[in-house]
Amino acid sequence: MKNNPRKVLITGGLGFIGSNLAIKCQELGMDVTVLDNLDSHSGGNPINLDNYTADIRIVSGDILDYELLTQMILDKDLIFNCAASTSHGYSMREPWLHSDVNSRGVINLLEAIKQRNRDAALVHLGTTTQLGPLQYRPADENHPEFPTDVYSATKMVSEKYVLIYAKAYELNATVIRLPNVFGPRAAIHSADFSFNNYFVGLALQDKTITVYMPGNQLRNILYVDDAVNALLTVTESSESVGETFFAVGDQHYSVKTIAERICQVLGGSVKMVEWPKTEKVIEVGDVVITNAKIKRVLGWAPCITLDEGLVRTGRYFQNRLGSYL
């Protein structure tokens, strides 16, 4: 690979998952370029690649800039679309922004690939929350989708765009739906960027984590290295083309249990509180997902336990906390 490195573009590459993916690709000998506009509602942080600027090309730009995208995808072998406006709550207050970035931005990327580089492989990040309240459990890739917030709806729509283009124009495109991912380089300063990573930020400051009573709704949680490995695994198999996969953990935990385990490993305490109305209306209940398809088709499986992942996460943030709060 190092004699003929694959050229990779990662949109949203200064964000949590994108930056970890960029580092892994670089370590594997790939020629890596990241595109990011550091939008405050997307969780990107320049410190994420601060030690890799000599090895990873960083371009300041937006997936809403079609002309820029057409230039950046020209010579790429792999394209990972990690760019998104990600806050569930903010999407209800600013739906236009989420629609632009998460839907129109994906159309821009697909059109650029269709027009200028049909040989590129595209991996698009989806989310488990696009399902909405579950009609059966464990949910699989055939589960109906009735999202309860604008962010999840725009991710659902953008996934369908990817699958339409893959079929209609024979693009090499795959969708990976991810659950609550945690780990190093996450945005831990705000609940807008996943509750579990916000809990980590509070615990690292020895603060109180508030959980809405009774906190027994189940969530799927995945360490970021396992997420990255799933994204890379799909690029190695032709059986992934035009497919959607849930890359999720084997275990499901209640929100209360997640908070308690975070505190046990990293510090802080847990306090149970009443549900605010704004959160209650978009709550989906239990999120119980199966990863049977990706295990069967691609042989991927998660490797890092919740506790081990929390230990690694704490170790990363120990001397960098000020750069993430």
Give pLDDT, residue 63.
93
Write out the DSSP string of 228-273. HHHHHHGGG-GGGTT-EEE---S-EEEHHHHHHHHHHHH--EEEEE
Give pLDDT, residue 276.
81
Are 24 and 228 a contacting pair, CB within 8 Å? yes
62-66, 126-130, 148-152, 308-312 — which is least confidently predicted? Answer: 148-152
123-127, 148-152, 200-204, 230-234 — which is least confidently predicted? Answer: 148-152
- In percent, the amount of the chain with pLDDT more than 70 equals 99
Q: Does the structure show a pLDDT above 90 at 132?
A: yes
Higher per-residue pLDDT: 2 or 275: 275
Maximal CA-CA distance, the chain: 58
- What mean pLDDT, rounded, does the chain reach? 93
Give pLDDT, residue 3.
57
Are 43 and 187 a contacting pair, CB within 8 Å? yes
Q: Please give, one letter per residue, the 3-state secondary structure of 303-320.
A: CCCHHHHHHHHHHHHCCC
Residue-range domains of the chain with CATH: 7-184+221-250+288-304 (3.40.50.720)
Q: Token pair 């490195």 is at which residue?
A: 5
Residue 136 CB burial class (10 angstroms; 0-12, 13-18, ≥19):
exposed
Query: Confidence band (pLDDT; 50, 70, 90) for 2?
Result: very low
Cβ neighbours around 3 below 10 Å, total: 5
Q: pLDDT digit string (tens) for 171-222? A: 999 999 999 999 999 999 988 888 999 999 999 999 999 999 989 999 999 9
DSSP-H helix ranges across the chain: 16-27, 66-72, 88-93, 95-99, 105-116, 150-168, 195-204, 224-233, 255-266, 277-280, 292-298, 306-317
Q: What is the sign, positive or negative, of the torsion defined by CA atoms of 265, 247, 218, 97?
A: positive
Q: What angle do CA 136, 137, 142 make, to 5 degrees?
A: 65
Per-residue tokens: 124: 């698009």
Q: Rounded to whole angstroms, how far apart are CA atoms 28 and 22?
A: 10
Are 101 and 83 a contacting pair, CB within 8 Å? yes
Q: pLDDT digit string (tens) for 29-56? A: 999 999 999 987 778 999 999 999 899 9
Instruction: List phi, psi (to 5°) of 20.
Output: -65, -40
Q: pLDDT digit string (tens) for 60-118? A: 999 999 999 999 999 999 999 999 877 777 777 877 887 788 899 999 999 999 999 99
Give pLDDT, residue 89.
72
3-state secondary structure (DSSP) of residue 215 = coil
